[in-house]
Amino acid sequence: MTSYTDKGPKPDIGKFYAFDHLTFYVGNAKQAASYYVTRLGFEPLGYKGLETGSRKYAYHAVKQNRIVFVFVSSYEPNEEEAGYHLMRHGDGVKDVAFSVENLERIVARAKEKGAKIIKDIWEESDFNGRVRFAVLQTYGDTTHTLVDRSLYTGLFLPGYVRSPEDRLTKTLPIIQLNFIDHVVGNQPDKEMESAAKWYETMFQFHRFWSVDDSQIHTQYSALRSIVMSNWEETVKMPINEPAKGKKKSQIQEYVDYYGGAGVQHIALNTDDIIRAVSLNDNKLDYVRNLKERGTEFLQVPDSYYELLRERLKESKVQVAENLDILQELKILIDYDDDGYLLQIFTKNMQDRPTLFLEVIQRRNHNGFGAGNFKSLFEAIEMEQAKRGNL
């Protein structure tokens, strides 16, 4: 594992503030949005469709604190863009949008460096102000929308009307996910370096963290990963590729089913993965609440926690959470001498094994769970074996 302290020269283009939103192309946007509301604690945010003058696509946006997901479906039987994407890739992330400071300078540099501009700078407005956008091609069929919303005070984006409240959510356990921590892109073998270089060249991102297959492997499979980040390190884009192993790695399984490079998982940050609230002497927590809502998580064996307890005896780090509860909930821990992180991974969010979510809590630890990759891989390999894909 390598952590990079040298960011290189400070970028001379505008800032990348944060992830703005993620756009999914799906077969049924209304139902997909409802799934994330009921299973993961999002709230309906905004809608664009036939009733609002959007004749080609239906858009359903959902929100949880600073996380916004937009689900998009085509109305037309022969529509090419979303229809082709859905046929080839299945339900998945089409676009990762960033909120930015100086749209013109970022786009000008990208053009100068040879980026593929899907849609040059344009503006949309309503009575709440105006928003400016541009769309660039990144790995595979995935795009990045750059969003300048500095002159907008509306609900989400122009053209959206507020979604009706989902009354069912008032009866469900509370979830508290705060913001998008990172978005992971899987690449075919030998394409990781070029994908990482793209972020460095086009956006002046720097290498933040990396691992190779000598560090991340199991008996059967391995991966290599580079994490690219903006200067402020508020946007992190891990780039993975498979490494040769005895059997098919989870990265190669993704590439095979997705039909190339694409977004493999989305990490959602929480302040407290175990919400230790006294309620009739029981523990109420977000992960258990997610499970109560029907979210399925990968399982790790109890032996992981037995080994963890032994290793922590030799460590400077003091884990504040109750290890028995972490074991019960199958939450993983990675740590160094300065701090630790807690993480848990869902099973795939749709039938194709091509997208899952991570819930992560950081306590003075900026890594990505390298110490857990072996346990995570083994849990994924058990699921792969069930699918007949190991």
pLDDT (tens digit per residue) in 130-148 = 999 999 999 999 999 999 9
Both structure tokens of 16: 């990348």
Please identify, among 171, 205, 229, the residue that sits at the C-terminal boundary of a domain: 171
Same-domain pairing of 209 and 158: no
C-alpha 228/C-alpha 225 separation (Å) is 10
- Please give the mean pLDDT across all residues of the chain: 89
- Please indicate, yes or no, whether the overall pTM of this predicted structure exceeds 0.75: yes
Q: Judge whether 151 lies within some domain.
A: yes
CATH code assigned at 156: 3.10.180.10
Average pLDDT over residues 113-124: 98
Instruction: Write the CA distances from 274 to 47, 178, 286, integer angstroms.
Output: 33, 14, 6
Q: Judge whether 300 lies within some domain.
A: yes
Same-domain pairing of 194 and 162: no
Same-domain pairing of 332 and 195: yes
Q: Judge whether 351 lies within some domain.
A: yes
Q: Judge whether 2 lies within some domain.
A: no
Same-domain pairing of 115 and 199: no
pLDDT tens-digit map of 79-114 = 889 999 999 999 999 999 999 999 999 999 999 999
Say if CB 96 and CB 19 are below 8 A apart: yes
C-alpha 255/C-alpha 237 separation (Å) is 17
Q: Judge whether 1 lies within some domain.
A: no
pLDDT tens-digit map of 328-384 = 888 999 888 889 999 999 999 999 999 999 999 999 988 766 666 565 556 556 666
What totals of helices (H) and strands (E) does the chain contain, helices first?
A: 9, 20
Both structure tokens of 346: 């869902």
Q: What domain range is 37 assigned to?
A: 8-171
Same-domain pairing of 183 and 163: no
**Which of 24, 40, 61, 22 has the alpha carbon at shortest distance from 270?**
40
pLDDT tens-digit map of 220-275 = 557 788 999 999 999 999 999 987 765 677 888 899 999 999 999 999 999 988 76
Both structure tokens of 135: 């769309």
Same-domain pairing of 200 and 158: no
Residue 255 has a CB neighbour count (10 Å cut-off) of 25
Same-domain pairing of 157 and 185: no
Q: Judge whether 120 lies within some domain.
A: yes
Q: Which band of pLDDT confidence, cut at 50, 70 and 90, is reported for residue 282?
A: very low
